Structures are given as structure tokens and as C-alpha cells.
């Protein structure tokens, strides 16, 4: 018997945030026939050291669409300047409309504690839209939902005022190669802006295959860290033997503003296990 079809909505602040934190799980959803949509609340038009404005926004839009094709998802990018997102009533209405029109079972977004204001305000906007999406007279011309979707946060390493809690953790070993292919599409970020911003002294390789291998080497420690940090949590979901073999994982924290998610209901909403 096939599992019921799910609708999964990832809402990040920039046109690569969902790919980095949620890409592997999104790929697993897509492979199972579920419908996945990514939204970026800004257009990314300042995320570079040599270009910006409209040309950069257009470039990052095209990068996101190429990554979306690999994952089997759709990618919507809002035309709000990078670094200028605010938790205004107008932007809350936009998120309410997006959530209602897509009708997700699950919404994935940033935590509200983060170094970047676009991340924080994206999280706040999603939290403010939660429950409100069920209220008929808010944005009355958009049909309200009959339910409040489950909302979860993507993982991060910030500790104050409280650290991330891995309520759900997904083995993404079988999706890691395609996740790296997604990141490879975001050339302006992973090969240009981030190496510059991080102060990497060695030049980024230009030959595509060598550059792709370089990407894997540079990002591998970051992706390995999630599974290593939450190894005990992996054991709870996959058993000790399987958990010991998992290299790559993505973790999520349940937001109490969305619908409640009991532990026994998690497997029905997340692609935790291999299909038979």
C-alpha cells in the first residue's frame, strides 16, 4: 500500500537556505511522490562581493530553479531586497496567502534565534502566520485552511537563549549526492561569495568536476556534524546498528505554534525509513 501524498513547504530567507538545511529530506519526499515547494522570502540581491542588485537577483533565481529541478521541487522567490525583510503586516499577509494556496501538511523554516535578521524575521513571519491561516476574516479573499499545519525549524548551532532541539532527525545518506548537486547549482554562493566571505586563501577550482569535488570536501564536515551531534537521537529513530552507519542527517525541531505532533505520528509526516 502506498503512503498518503504529502504537501511540504520549506520557507527560507535566501535562495539557498532550504537547499542547505532541508535539501536531502526534500529530495527524499520528492522521490516518494510527495509535493515539495521551497520559498525564499528575499531575492538574494546583496549576497555577493562583486555584483548585486537586479543582475544578482536574476542569477540567484536561475540558480535556484536549476537546484529545484534536481530535487524535484518548485521554488518561489519573493522580490524583497536581501537584508531588508521586515516582519510587517503586509509580509505576514503574503506568507498567509502562500501557505493557504499551497495547503501544506508540514512547514519547515528557520528558528527565531539566528545571526541573520532575514532568518529571524522569516521565522517570525511564519510563526505569525501559523494558526492565522485558519482564520476566515484574515485575508478574506484567500480561502482559509481548515487546519493548522505542523511547523518545524531547520537545525542550527546557536545556543542562546536556548539551543536547537532535534525532535526529528532524518537519514539523508541516500540523498547526499543529489543535495551536493543542488548546492553546485548555487555557483554565486558556494564558489564565489562564501569562499570570499570566509576568507579562504586557496583559489576555487574552475574545472567543473574538480570544483564539484572541492565543494564536497569543504562542506562535508558541516554535513557530517549533524549526524554526529545527534547520534543518540538517530538511535531512537533507526536503532543502534543502523544509526551507527548513518553519515549524513538533517534535524528538525517542532514549533509549538503549529499543529501538535505526537512522537507516534512523526513517521507518517517525515520520510524516516526506506520504502519496502
Q: Which three cell numbers stand for residue 100?
A: 493557504
Q: What is the CATH number of the domain that holds 154?
A: 3.40.50.10320
Cα–Cα distance list, 76 to 9, 62, 104 (Å): 11, 11, 15
CB 66 within 8 A of CB 181: no
- What backbone phi and psi angles, to 5 degrees, belong to 45? -80, 5
Q: Is residue 174 assigned to a domain?
A: yes
What whole-number distance in Å separates Cα of residue 246 and Cα of residue 252? 17
Contact assessment for residue 183 and residue 219, using Cβ atoms and an 8 Å cutoff = yes
Q: What is the DSSP string of 106-134?
A: EEEE--S--S-HHHHHHHHHHHHHTTGGG
Average pLDDT over residues 234-244: 96
Q: How many CA atoms, within 13 angstroms, populate the side-chain half-sphere of residue 190?
A: 30
Q: What DSSP element (H or E) covers 36?
A: strand 35-40
pLDDT digits (tens, 9 = 90+) for 39-72: 999 999 999 999 999 999 999 999 999 999 999 9
Contact yes or no for 84/42 (Cβ under 8 A): yes
Structural domains counted in the chain: 1
pLDDT digits (tens, 9 = 90+) for 80-94: 999 999 999 999 999
Q: Which three cell numbers stand for residue 202?
A: 586557496
Domain presence at residue 215: yes
- Residue 274: inside a domain, yes or no? no
DSSP class per residue in 51-99? --HHHHHHHHHHHHHHHHHHHT-EEEE----TT-----HHHHHHHHHHH
Helix/strand/coil for 252: strand
pTM for the complete prediction?
0.96
pLDDT in tens, 178-235: 999 999 999 999 999 999 999 998 999 999 999 999 999 999 999 999 999 999 999 9
Assigned domain for 2 exists = no
d(CA 130, CA 10): 14
Give the three-state DSSP class for 11: strand
Q: What is the pLDDT of residues 129-162, one digit of tens each?
A: 999 999 999 999 999 999 999 999 999 999 999 9
- The mean per-residue pLDDT over the stretch 98-122 comes to 97
| Look-up of cell digits 505520528 | 265
Query: pLDDT class for 19, splitting at 50, 70, 90?
Result: very high
* 276 assigned to some structural domain: no
Q: Which domain holds residue 262?
A: 7-269
Q: What are phi and psi of 161, to 5 degrees?
A: -75, -10
Which pLDDT score, from 0 to 100, does residue 276 have? 42
Amino acid at each position: 500500500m502506498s503512503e498518503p501524498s504529502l504537501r511540504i513547504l520549506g520557507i527560507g530567507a535566501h535562495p539557498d537556505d532550504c537547499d542547505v538545511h532541508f535539501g536531502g529530506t526534500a529530495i527524499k519526499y520528492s522521490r516518494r511522490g510527495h509535493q515539495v515547494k521551497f520559498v525564499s522570502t528575499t531575492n538574494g540581491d546583496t549576497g555577493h562581493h562583486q555584483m548585486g542588485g537586479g543582475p544578482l537577483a536574476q542569477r540567484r533565481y536561475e540558480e535556484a530553479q536549476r537546484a529545484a529541478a534536481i530535487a524535484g521541487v518548485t521554488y518561489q522567490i519573493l522580490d524583497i531586497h536581501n537584508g531588508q525583510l521586515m516582519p510587517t503586516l503586509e509580509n505576514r499577509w503574503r506568507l498567509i496567502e502562500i501557505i493557504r494556496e499551497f495547503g501544506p501538511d508540514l512547514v519547515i523554516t528557520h528558528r527565531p534565534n539566528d545571526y541573520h535578521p532575514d532568518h529571524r524575521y522569516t521565522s517570525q513571519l511564519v510563526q505569525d502566520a501559523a494558526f492565522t491561516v485558519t482564520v476566515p476574516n484574515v485575508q478574506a479573499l484567500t480561502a482559509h485552511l481548515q487546519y493548522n499545519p505542523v511547523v518545524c525549524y531547520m537545525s542550527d548551532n546557536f545556543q542562546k537563549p536556548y539551543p536547537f532541539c532535534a525532535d526529528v532527525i532524518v537519514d539523508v545518506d541516500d540523498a547526499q549526492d543529489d543535495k551536493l548537486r543542488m548546492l553546485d547549482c548555487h555557483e554565486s554562493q558556494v564558489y564565489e561569495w562564501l569562499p570570499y566571505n570566509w576568507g579562504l586563501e586557496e583559489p576555487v577550482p574552475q574545472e567543473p568536476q574538480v570544483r564539484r569535488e572541492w565543494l564536497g570536501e569543504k562542506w562535508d564536515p558541516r554535513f557530517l556534524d549533524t549526524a554526529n551531534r545527534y547520534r543518540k537521537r538517530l538511535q531512537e529513530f533507526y536503532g543502534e546498528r543502523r544509526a551507527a552507519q548513518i553519515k549524513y542527517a538533517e534535524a528538525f525541531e517542532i514549533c509549538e505554534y503549529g499543529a501538535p505532533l505526537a512522537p507516534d505520528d512523526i513517521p507518517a509526516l517525515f520520510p524516516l525509513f526506506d520504502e519496502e
